[in-house]
Amino acid sequence: MAEEKFIVDGLAGAQKLSGTIRISGSKNAGLPVIAASLMCAGPVHYSNVPAIEDMSRMFELLSDLGVSVTQANGEATIDATTLATNVLTREVSERFRASIILTGPLLARCGEVQFPHPGGCVIGNRPIDIFLNGFEALGATVTEVDGMYTVSAQQLVGCDYFMPISSVTATESLVLAALGADGITRIHNASFEPEVVALCEFVIQYGAHIEGVGTPELIIHGHDGLLQSETMECVITPDRLEAGSYLILGALAGSEVTVTNCRPDHLGALLELFRQIGITTEVGESSVTVFGYTQKPQQSYVIKTHEFPGFPTDLQAPAGVLMTQVPGETLIFETIFEGRLHYLHDLERMGARVDHWDSHRATVHGGTPLKGRTLKSPDIRAGLAFIIAAIIADGTSEIHNVYLIDRGYERVEEKLANIGVAISRVSA
Ligand code: EPU
């Protein structure tokens, strides 16, 4: 694929953007519900499917497994009745971490799954021990040769599994594996992010019995056979991270920016930060409008990332850009991933003032204008944060590694141009 970059003309702090951005289906909610098609006896029709690179990788991976995938214009039909293999190829799996969600349903459906250590964004260590220990708790055996894992079980058996760290994709994978187990599985300290809830609600709609949805204590009743119904449908939940990213942009560089087709109830932590900073919002049933930010006296703030409903790690970098403009000091405490503060060094090159304490903590001194620079997107979310920084900066910026942004944000330049951003995509 040809390398591309974004060229962004900054607004030098002017709050000029206005208009509406329609939020797409969520990457992190869509990937697990699509993986759940492997637990279904017939075709599943999905809508609100985002046109993003990670979704394309998931479709490629399913096709490699022999699953029938037809998709266009935000709709997809996945039929796993033609599933032909339980081996996830290295080539695609190593390109995105979410491939690992497929391990649970493949193990449940086939009794065995083979997969490599997954790749994905370099935002920290990202081990897979919680998946492997969870599968072992369900009675599976795990072996590893040359970086390929084989997990197998004649019959998975319900268990009590205490998750040492709540992991979103491990919860999703284990829920799907536990559906194929004999008896009841209790996952303690499970993730209950909206994406986990969306997955549980989808499988429950087609016959799964799961208690405790939306809480850290999930009770999954083993399901006899595959999920089935005459027609199976799933509308992918709106992306709270896309919505949050564009609201942050609106707060910084907008006079009035509205995101529609979103779930305001998924945005509580960000709306609370806006309230503290003095940013006015208008919250509708499925929309949020943000009005431009007005300077307030210096204050101290803390952004501490946390599992849902706390401040999402995936909005930490866009929020970091926001806090470079807010007078006062903000302690950013990234508790989930140890590699997610590197973007601050690039913001410093643009003029931000930051004290770095350790790999999890930094203090941003706000109220500093930014200057356009050449930047390289390190991961999906920091990439989007760089676009926001470039928009508020004085001068022109180039943002390289656009592929990483395309992994999670649909038609980003088109959506931004619609609210007045001068952004173009060109060959790098
Ligand atoms: N962890 C382990 N062992 C494991 C699994 C996780 O120690 O086996 C640790 C991680 O290193 C991390 C913590 O557990 O410190 C939580 O990570 P989690 O497993 O919840 O992350 P994930 O499931 O790999 C999902 C999202 C990420 C998001 C995190 C946290 C998907 C596909 N990805 O990742 O999204 O940052 O949860 O909310 O759902 C993104 O969209 O840009 C993105 C990175």
What region, left, alpha or beta, does residue 146 occupy, with left being phi > 0 and alpha being psi -120 to 50 degrees? left
In angstroms, the CA 185 to CA 219 distance is 6
- Ligand 1 pocket check for 128: Cβ under 6 Å: yes
Interval between CA 358 and ligand 1 midpoint (Å): 20
DSSP codes, 12-32? TT---EEEEEE--B-HHHHHH
In angstroms, the CA 34 to CA 29 distance is 9
The predicted pLDDT at position 308 comes to: 98
Please tell me the residue having the least CA distance from ligand 1 atom 11.
Answer: 126
How many helices and strands in the chain, by DSSP H and E?
14, 23
Interval between CA 210 and ligand 1 midpoint (Å): 22
The tokens for 295 are 């300077």
Locate the ligand 1 atom nearest the alpha carbon of residue 314 and give its number. Answer: 36
- Ligand 1 pocket check for 234: Cβ under 6 Å: no
For the question of residue 110 being annotated catalytic, the response is: no
The predicted pLDDT at position 117 comes to: 87
Nearest in space to 237 (alpha carbons), one of 210, 265, 212, 256: 265
User: Is 345 in a helix, a strand, or coil?
Assistant: helix
Please tell me the residue having the least CA distance from ligand 1 atom 2.
Answer: 127
In angstroms, the CA 86 to CA 109 distance is 9
In angstroms, the CA 273 to CA 303 distance is 8
The predicted pLDDT at position 336 comes to: 96
Beta-carbon-side half-sphere exposure of residue 148 (alpha carbons within 13 Å): 13
- Ligand 1 pocket check for 130: Cβ under 6 Å: yes
- Ligand 1 pocket check for 109: Cβ under 6 Å: no
Please tell me the residue having the least CA distance from ligand 1 atom 28.
Answer: 314
In degrees, rounded to 5, the angle at the alpha carbon of residue 112 between the alpha carbons of residues 110 and 113 is 105
Helix, strand and coil content of the chain, in percent to the nearest 5, comes to: 35, 30, 35
Locate the ligand 1 atom nearest the alpha carbon of residue 131 and give its number. Answer: 8
Q: What string of pLDDT tens digits covers the 428 residues of the chain?
A: 679 999 999 999 999 999 999 999 999 999 999 999 999 999 999 999 999 999 999 999 999 999 999 999 999 999 999 999 999 988 878 878 889 999 999 999 999 999 998 876 566 667 899 999 999 999 999 999 988 999 999 999 999 999 999 999 999 999 999 999 999 999 999 999 999 999 999 999 999 999 999 999 999 999 989 999 999 999 999 999 999 999 999 999 999 999 999 999 999 999 999 999 999 999 999 999 999 888 777 899 999 999 999 999 999 999 999 999 999 999 999 999 999 999 999 999 999 999 999 999 999 999 999 999 999 999 999 999 999 999 999 999 999 999 999 999 999 999 999 999 999 999 98
User: Is 309 in a helix, a strand, or coil?
Assistant: coil
Q: Which residue among the candidates 40, 121, 159, 200 is catalytic per the annotation?
A: 121
- Ligand 1 pocket check for 409: Cβ under 6 Å: no
- Ligand 1 pocket check for 196: Cβ under 6 Å: no
The predicted pLDDT at position 122 comes to: 63
* Residue of 135, 168, 240 best suited for mutating to test ligand 1, as the one with most atoms within 8 Å of CB: 168
Nearest in space to 35 (alpha carbons), one of 89, 98, 91, 84: 98
Please tell me the residue having the least CA distance from ligand 1 atom 17.
Answer: 167
- Ligand 1 pocket check for 314: Cβ under 6 Å: yes
In angstroms, the CA 294 to CA 277 distance is 9
Q: Which residue has the tokens 């058996």?
A: 157
